[in-house]
Amino acid sequence: MTACSKCDGFKERLNFSTLRDYLDIVRQLIQIVSEGTFLLVHADCPLRDMFNTPIPGDCVTHDFQCTGLAVCSNFPLTLITATQIGRNNNLETN
Determine, yes or no, domain membership for 44: yes
What is residue 88's predicted lDDT score, i.e. its pLDDT?
Answer: 46
Determine, yes or no, domain membership for 19: yes
Determine, yes or no, domain membership for 2: no
What is residue 33's predicted lDDT score, i.e. its pLDDT?
Answer: 92
Domain that residue 78 falls in: 13-83
Determine, yes or no, domain membership for 3: no
Number of domains present in the structure of the chain: 1
Determine, yes or no, domain membership for 8: no
What is residue 64's predicted lDDT score, i.e. its pLDDT?
Answer: 85
pTM of the model: 0.74
Query: Which regions of the chain are under pLDDT 50?
Result: 1, 84-88, 93-94
Determine, yes or no, domain membership for 56: yes
Determine, yes or no, domain membership for 93: no
What is residue 86's predicted lDDT score, i.e. its pLDDT?
Answer: 39
Give DSSP secondary structure letters for the chain: ----TTTGGGSS-EEESSHHHHHHHHHHHHHHHHHTSEEEEEESS-GGGGGSSS-SSSEEEEEEEE-S-TT-----EEEEEE-STTPPEEEEE-
What is residue 75's predicted lDDT score, i.e. its pLDDT?
Answer: 54
Determine, yes or no, domain membership for 76: yes
What is residue 21's predicted lDDT score, i.e. its pLDDT?
Answer: 84
